[in-house]
Amino acid sequence: MSLPKDFVWGFATASYQIEGSPSAGGRGPSIWDTFTHLPNKIKDNSSGDVATDSYRLWKEDIALLKSYGVKSYRFSLSWSRIIPDGGRNDPVSEDGVAFYREFIEELHRQGIIPFVTLYHWDLPQTLHDRYGGWLNKEEIVKDFVNYAKVCFTSFGDLVQNWLTHNEPWCVSVLGYGRGVFAPGHTSDRTRSPVGDTSTEPWIVAHHLILAHAYAVKLYRDSFKASQGGQIGITLDCSWFMPYDDAPENVAAAERGLECRLGWFAMPIYLGHYPPALKAMIGSRLPTFTPEELSVVTGSSDFFGLNTYTTHIAQEGGDDEFNGKVKTGFTRPDGTELGTQAEVPWLQTYPDGFRELLKYIYKTYGKPIYVTENGFACRNENIIPIADAVHDKDRVEYYQGYTNAILEAIKDGAEVKGYFAWSLLDNFEWAEGYTIRFGVTYVDYSTQKRYPKDSAKFLSKWFQEQIPA
């Protein structure tokens, strides 16, 4: 069995994680620029000020993609590079637009299809200061839609594949609940003087959904006919596998998927919040007006999925953001689910990936693009480069997960694309530079790139699987 001829594959990145050059071309600060310069917010007290220097080395990045034989590249635009102050009445940066336009044109020259994410967590700081950013529905939805309009107008003749948000769960929960991501809001006063974990994440999530939906409406109403593209959103979720056959654990796994993924997917694809979530959150969960709901429902042409692992689910958790499901990696017999990554939340388990793809297609009925999937090898940051490029555990991960795509398609799921995370080792948010997810090793002292065995594996595998 092979993949469909029109299957797209490649690698993914995000602007703040790779670009650096935070003020070049008049770029304004984002909430991540601010957050990373606060003490003790990032594990190694680093920032994305330089990252992989891709604002300057972008031609090298595209040459690398070309050498890997990819069909596509998923990257994000920096809102504050395009509109430095972010707002609908603020000036657009000609330099910022020109930078991305030249970048996208070069992708086309190299035969690489751009998949463009509008928002990968880097809100312009001015909007956060001006009116509270994602907490202010009236302002943020209009400003995001305006930003989307600038992008559709500036790049839409070259871009047929748009994503509005990357992982709104992370924006809502990690940024406004746990306080570990920008802007760092949380009820934990040892971490932040501001924030209310019981309410803010639900409000922010609601506004993210609305901003997404109204940007999609704009695209469909004013750009789709002439530009011929598609637009959707990327949601993140792990597979939830019951700990055993006990009815309460089977129910917990189902509830975990419904609350964790369905929080965003159910309104967007089915037109309502998950019943289990409504029962759990009650009046703290905002409601859509009839007009809003008509715009939200069906507001994604496909299902963008970021997924990395499987969690073994048991009844008895207390985390609302996880559906009050207890999760882990240890089976009843004491064995672990799979190979452990450098990060505690990730183990290899390709069978769970296959099940998640089947579940999403059956539940939401849209073609799936896997927009992120990857693995962080243990100790990769402390061993010599000559050893790190032989990333055996990452190769094993990709062997299993790529085969799981074939199995899921054989089972009836419509999977149309796959983007490995990430093209490059880069700035990994709260972890800084302490972990590496790249298929290309980056020596941060020289910015030299070294292909790893995983890049070679993926290049060979997809070239063998997709008919010429």
Query: What residues are annotated to the active site?
Result: 372
Cβ count near 173 (within 10 Å): 26
Residue found by looking up tokens 């559906």 in the block: 323
**DSSP bridge pairs for 163:** 117, 232
Residue found by looking up tokens 């992008």 in the block: 151
CA 397 vs. chain centroid, Å, equals 19
CA 401 vs. chain centroid, Å, equals 18
* DSSP helix, strand, coil percent of the chain (3-state; round to 5): 45, 15, 40
What DSSP assignment string belongs to 179-238? -SSTT--BS-TTT-SS--TTTHHHHHHHHHHHHHHHHHHHHHHHTHHHH--EEEEEEE--
* Dihedral over Cα of 192, 196, 202, 205: its sign: negative
β-pairing verdict for 415-421 and 8-12 = parallel
How far apart (Å, rounded) are the C-alpha atoms in residues 107 and 65?
9
Q: List the end-to-end C-alpha distance of the chain, in Å, as a whole number.
A: 14
Residue ranges in 366-431 assigned as alpha helix (H): 385-388, 392-410
Do 15 and 120 form a contact (C-beta atoms < 8 A)? Answer: yes
How far apart (Å, rounded) are the C-alpha atoms in residues 371 and 168?
14
> 442: helix, coil or strand?
strand
How far apart (Å, rounded) are the C-alpha atoms in residues 141 and 94?
23
Do 35 and 41 form a contact (C-beta atoms < 8 A)? Answer: yes
**DSSP bridge pairs for 333:** none
Do 394 and 375 form a contact (C-beta atoms < 8 A)? Answer: yes
Comparing CA positions, the residue from 346, 348, 313 lying closest to residue 331 is 313
